[in-house]
Amino acid sequence: MVIFITGISSGFGLATARLLSQEGHVVYGTVRREVSKLPGVHYLQLDVRDARAVQDAVRQIVEKEGAVDVLVNNAGMGIGGPLEFATEEEIQLQMETNFMGLVHCVDAVLPYMRRQKRGKIIALSSIGGLMGLPFQGFYSASKFAIEGYCEALRLETRGMGVQVVVLRPGDFSTGFTGSRKKVGNEEALRAYPQYQVALEKVEHDELSGLKPEVLAGKIGRIVTMRHPRNGYVVASLEQRLSVFLKRVLPARWFDWVLGSYYKLS
């Protein structure tokens, strides 16, 4: 299969590109800067926020390979901090990378997939796309947007041979923790003294989380499934339980559970 993966310089993208290439797939992946290259993987230097660059890249893949069978939309970033202290530029960066990046990629591959009458779109959301995470509010907002977009996309492309699958990772040990943009000004820390405690909890969970190869393996299996589910939660037992509780508990009770977990009460 011909697979287009966004954001393969590290973390999930790197592990997924390595695995799928080793399994014999033709893998194209995007990076924003020069990186050490995996053998057998085709690198495309672009930013998913640039719609024209994404269109050009997909066109080149189709001209060379004849098709794009699978899109794995992985590229993303995160902002940590109180919502009111995020700058307009940070909010735009968050939403344009995580959400509009997906839109640009889908817009680029979907005409070919419709023509082929086959294709698979795998979008990385997060358990933060199922619940609003304190001090990661705009990250959650970007993932909520992915959830709604993919639900609509799945319905619109029903019967066209296009499958849309959403993956919701929990905490994983990747470079994401170190690259998170964090609000650090004194006014924010004074106004929200609980922010630092919550952030330490977040980073501890991420650094002790699952390895990216776990998610890569899940993606590898989904790529070859004839009838994958609409979505999967890939997380620790505790975090899978939190997703279940979100579904079954009254909203006020779940707010208390989540607040207690992040030591907000």
What's 230's DSSP letter? S
Is position 140 annotated as part of the catalytic site? no
- The tokens describing 249, both together, are 């508990």
Angle, CA 44 vertex, CA 20 and CA 62 arms, to 5°? 75
Which of 21, 28, 120, 125 is catalytic? The answer is: 125
Is position 36 annotated as part of the catalytic site? no
What's 118's DSSP letter? -
Which of 120, 126, 140, 143 is catalytic? The answer is: 143
Residue with tokens 């926020």: 49
| Cβ atoms within 10 Å of 141's Cβ, excluding its own | 19
CA gap 103, 95 in Å, rounded:
11
Is position 9 annotated as part of the catalytic site? yes
Which of 28, 112, 139, 232 is catalytic? The answer is: 139
Alpha helices in the chain (DSSP H): 11-22, 51-65, 88-95, 101-116, 137-156, 176-179, 186-191, 194-207, 212-224, 237-248, 251-261
Is position 242 annotated as part of the catalytic site? no
CA gap 167, 127 in Å, rounded:
9
CA gap 60, 106 in Å, rounded:
16
Which of 9, 140, 142, 242 is catalytic? The answer is: 9
CA separation, residue 241 to residues 23, 132, 180 (Å): 32, 16, 26
CA gap 19, 146 in Å, rounded:
25
- Just list the catalytic residues: 9, 125, 139, 143
